[in-house]
Structure 1
Amino acid sequence: MEAQTHTERFKLQASSFKLPPLAAYIHIPWCVRKCPYCDFNSHVSEQGLPEAEYIDALIADLELDLPNAQGRELTSIFFGGGTPSLFSAESLGRLLDAMANRLNFATDIEITLEANPGTFEQVKFAGYRAAGINRLSIGIQSFNAKHLKALGRIHDDKEALAAVAMARKAGFDNLNLDLMHGLPDQSLDDALADINQAIDLGPEHLSWYQLTLEPNTVFYSKPPILPVEDTLWAIQEAGQARLAEAGLAQYEISAYAQPGRQARHNLNYWQYGDFLGIGAGAHGKLTHPDGRVERYWKTRLPRDYLDAAKDYCAGRKVIAAADLPFDFLMNALRLSDGVPTAYYLARTGQSLEAIAPQLNEAVRKGLLEPWDQQLRPTERGRLFLNDLLEMFL
C-alpha cells in the first residue's frame, strides 16, 4: 500500500477527536512577605488568614466549574500561590475531600503542594501527606544565606536543608526543589554550589531557572546588579552539564527530573491539556465538545474573591482559530522532546497541513526536527525558541 500523505493521515485521526486530559489548579494567594522578584498573585494578610472562609469559597467556586469537567477524571491537582503551606493540613484535606466527592480522581492522581522551607510550614508536612498530598514543591531558591537575603526570602540555608529532611521523614517520595540562578552577585562557583547541594539531597525533580526582572515587582523598579551575560551563559552551560551527569534529565526549558518523575501537572500544561482554575486569580483552560478552546480567569484580589458569592469568573476568551497554532506550540515546544504530531489535531481540531509551510521553513532553518511523527525543537530551536514561535504568529 502506498504511503499516506500528511493530509490523509490527519483526516483519519479526525474521527477520533476527544477531550484532552483534565487537571486542576488551586490558588492560595497569601504570603508572609512579598518577595521583591515575585509577580504572582500573592498578598500579605495583615489581619490573619481567612482560612475557613477561603476554603468555603474554593468549594463554591469548584461547584460552578463542575460542568466544565465534562465527565473527565482529574489526573493531577496543584496547590500554588502565594504560599499554600500557610494553610493547615485539615483545611486542605477538607477541600480535597470536597473535590473527591464531586469529581473522579485518577487512581494514580498527582497532588502537589508548593511549600516554603520555613520551620512553621515544616511541622505540617506529615499532616499534608496524611491528607492525600503526594508531591511537595519546596521553594528553596538558593542554599546560600547571602543570596537568600538578597532575594528577600524568610528562610535561611539551614531551614532549607531541614525542610527536605522533614519532607522525607513525613513520607514524601516525590519532591521538587525550586532553585534560581543569575542572582545578584552570584558567581559561577556559587551557582554550581547550589546545584551540587540540591543534587546531594536527591530530589526526584528540580526546577532550575534564571531570575528575571518582571514588571510590577520591586526588583523591576529598583533593579539589583545581576551577573553579566558571559557569566549567565557559563552558569547555564555548566549547570545543565552537572544536572545531566547527576541523572536529572532536562525535559523542559527549566525542568529536570529523574527517569519517570516528570511533573505530571506541568506536562499537562505543555501538552495542551485542560485544567480547571480555582481560587483568586487562578487561570483555567477548557476544550469544548465542539472543538472551541477557551481560557478563563477568576477574580484576582482575595477580598473581592471572597465577596464574589456566585460569580467568581472575571473573564473568558475563546482562542480564535487563527491563534490556535501559536497557543499550542508556545506550550508544546517548551518540551525537549516536543509532542506527538497527533496531539495537534486531537487538541486543536486543526490539521497540521494548514501550518505545513511554517513547519517546513522551521525545519529548513534548523529550528525544528522533521515533523512526520513528532513536533520537536532542535537544540538550536530550544535556544532560540522565541524566533521559532514567531514563525506561527
Structure 2
Amino acid sequence: MSGIALPMGRHTWRLQALPPLALYIHMPWCVRKCPYCDFNSHEAKGEMPEQAYLDALVRDLELALPAIWGRRVVSIFFGGGTPSLFSAAGLDRLLCDIRARVNLHTDAEITLEANPGTFEADKFRDYRAAGINRLSIGIQSFNPRHLKALGRIHDDNEARRAIEIAHRHFDNFNLDLMYALPGQTMAEASQDLRTAVAMESTHLSAYHLTLEPNTLFYRYPPELPDDEQSADMQEMVESALAEAGFDHYETSGFAKPGQYCKHNLNYWQFGDYLGIGAGAHSKLSFHDRIVREMRYKQPAQYMQQVAAGTPVHEHRQVSLDQLPFEFMMNLMRLTGGFLPQLFAERTGLQLTVVEQALQQAEQKGLVARDHTCIRPTLTGQRFLNDLLQLFLTEEPT
C-alpha cells in the first residue's frame, strides 16, 4: 500500500509563498567526452560558436522572463560540458546581460564548473573580475593511472596547478572527486582524499562512480571494486573528511562550516530554478501550480529553437500525486534533514499526507523525527532508494 494520503478538493491547492529562485546555465561543449559521463555534453569539433550561443542564452532568458517576473535570483551556476572553455570576456558580457534583465541578489553565489585541462592564470583572474565568485573543479583523481582510465584530458600535475591558480583568485571553490574507480584500491582512494584535503579547498564533492546508461562504460564495463569494497571506501571518505573538519551536509557534499554550496542547497530544499541553455532543466513554482521544463538538447537545434522563440522542448505540470515523492527525493539527501513546516511551504500540502509513509520509515529505522526536524538516519542515507520508495504513490490501474 502507498504511504501517501492526498486530500480531496485538489482544485483549492495553492502555494502561500514562492521558494527561492536560482539560475542554471548549461554550456554544452567539452574537449572530449568522458566514458562515464551521461550529462548533455558534446565534443567541440572545430571552432565553438561562442558568441552565437551566448546570444541564444540571453534570448532564452528574455523568453522566460514572464515566468519569473519580479522574483530575485539568489545564485547562478554555469554547468556543462566544460564552461571554462568559454572566454572570460564572453561570460562577463553574459553576466552583464543577466543583471540587466533579472533582479540578481547583491550577494549571489556565482559558480563556474572548470576542467583542470583548461586552466590559464589570466583567464581565471578575469573570470573572478567578471563576478564569478566560486569554482567547481573537476579533479576526479590525483592518480595518473585513474585519470587515464576515466578519459580525463588533464594529468595529476595539471590538477595541482589548477588548484594553485584557484587559490590565487578565489576564496571559495569545490573539488570534485570520484571513488570506486576501475582497479582502485582502498589505499589509492585514501591517498586521493588526503591530497584533496591538503589542497585546502572549502568544499569537496565525493561521488561513487556509477555506470550510467548511454555511456561508454555502460556498454563496455570496466572492472570496478565490488559492493563491499565500495562501501568501505564510502565510509573511509566520510570519516576522513569529518576528521578534517568538513561537514557532511548532503549525500555527496562535504564543506567547511559556512561554505555549503548555496545553489545546490536550493535544489535539495525543493527551491526553484530556471535552466537556460541546451538541455537545461527548470523547476518553477506558481501560486496555483509547479511545472518542470527541459530545453532542446542538441546545441544547434537549441539555438534554432531559441531563434524561433520556442526553446522549451518538454513542459509538464507536477501533479499533486507526485509532489510528496519529488520533495522527499531532494530533502532526504540532506543529512541534517529539514524543518517539518518546509513540506507545506514548498508543496502546498499538509504533512499529514505523508504521515503513514513517515511512520513506516521510522519503523524501518530509515528516518528519525521530532517536532523540530525530519532527517534520514545513517541507515536511511545508505539505503536512500528504499526510503524514497515509501513516498511513491501507486500508479492507477
TM-score, with structure 1 as normaliser: 0.94
Mapped pair 1:204 → 2:202: yes
Partner of 1:300: 297
Correspondence 1:234-245 to 2 at 5 A: 234-245=232-243
For residues 52-75 of structure 1, give each alpha carbon's deviation from its aligned partner in whole angstroms, at most 9, with x where no partner exists. Answer: 000000000000111222311111
Partner of 1:317: 316
Partner of 2:48: 49
Percent sequence identity over aligned pairs? 54
SS for the counterpart of 2:248 is: strand
Partner of 2:19: 20
Distance 1:113 1:15 in 2: 35
Partner of 1:9: none
Which piece of structure 1 moves more, 120-129 or 324-333? 120-129
Bigger relative contact order, structure 1 or 2 (CA pairs below 8 A, ≥6 apart): 2
Q: Which sections of structure 2, spanning at least 5 residues, go unmatched?
A: 1-12, 393-397
Distance 1:113 1:300 in 2: 20
Find the partner of 1:189 among 187, 190, 215: 187
Partner of 2:96: 97
Q: Which amino acid aligns with 1:109?
A: A
Give how far 1:47 is off.
Answer: 2.1
For residues 245-276 of structure 1, give each alpha carbon's deviation from its aligned partner in whole angstroms, at most 9, with x where no partner exists. Answer: 00111111110000010100000000000000
Correspondence 1:320-331 to 2 at 5 A: 320-331=319-330
Which piece of structure 1 moves more, 324-333 or 227-236? 227-236
For residues 196-216 of structure 1, give each alpha carbon's deviation from its aligned partner in whole angstroms, at most 9, with x where no partner exists. Answer: 000001110000011000000
Whether the aligned pair in 2 keeps the contact of 1:179 and 1:207 (CA below 8 Å) is: yes
Give how far 1:385 is off.
Answer: 1.0
CA RMSD of aligned residues (A): 1.3
Gap change, CA 1:120 and 1:243, over 3 Å in 2: closer
Give how far 1:280 is off.
Answer: 0.3
Partner of 1:8: none
For residues 4-55 of structure 1, give each alpha carbon's deviation from its aligned partner in whole angstroms, at most 9, with x where no partner exists. Answer: xxxxxxxxxx999200000000000000000000000000121210000000
SS for the counterpart of 1:376 is: strand
Whether the aligned pair in 2 keeps the contact of 1:119 and 1:159 (CA below 8 Å) is: no
SS for the counterpart of 2:257 is: coil
SS for the counterpart of 1:183 is: coil
Partner of 1:356: 355
Distance 2:121 2:73 in 1: 28
Whether the aligned pair in 1 keeps the contact of 2:274 and 2:281 (CA below 8 Å) is: yes
Whether the aligned pair in 1 keeps the contact of 2:380 and 2:387 (CA below 8 Å) is: yes
Distance 2:32 2:233 in 1: 29
Correspondence 1:118-129 to 2 at 5 A: 118-129=117-128
Which piece of structure 1 moves more, 382-391 or 129-138? 382-391
Which piece of structure 1 moves more, 149-158 or 306-315? 306-315
Which piece of structure 1 moves more, 229-238 or 73-82? 229-238
User: Between Structure 1 and Structure 2, how many residues are aligned?
Assistant: 378
Which piece of structure 1 moves more, 231-240 or 29-38? 231-240
Whether the aligned pair in 1 keeps the contact of 2:85 and 2:118 (CA below 8 Å) is: no
Distance 1:160 1:380 in 2: 35
Correspondence 1:1-393 to 2 at 5 A: 17-169=16-168, 171-290=169-288, 292-308=289-305, 309=307, 310-393=309-392
Distance 1:264 1:68 in 2: 22
Q: Which sections of structure 1, spanning at least 5 residues, go unmatched?
A: 1-13
SS for the counterpart of 2:60 is: helix
- Kindly report structure 1 stretches of 4+ aligned residues shifted beyond 4 Å: 119-123
Gap change, CA 1:50 and 1:15, over 3 Å in 2: closer
SS for the counterpart of 2:376 is: coil
Whether the aligned pair in 2 keeps the contact of 1:85 and 1:121 (CA below 8 Å) is: no
Give how far 1:123 is off.
Answer: 4.3
Which piece of structure 1 moves more, 193-202 or 362-371? 362-371
Give how far 1:120 is off.
Answer: 4.8
Give how far 1:232 is off.
Answer: 1.1
Q: Which amino acid aligns with 1:201?
A: M
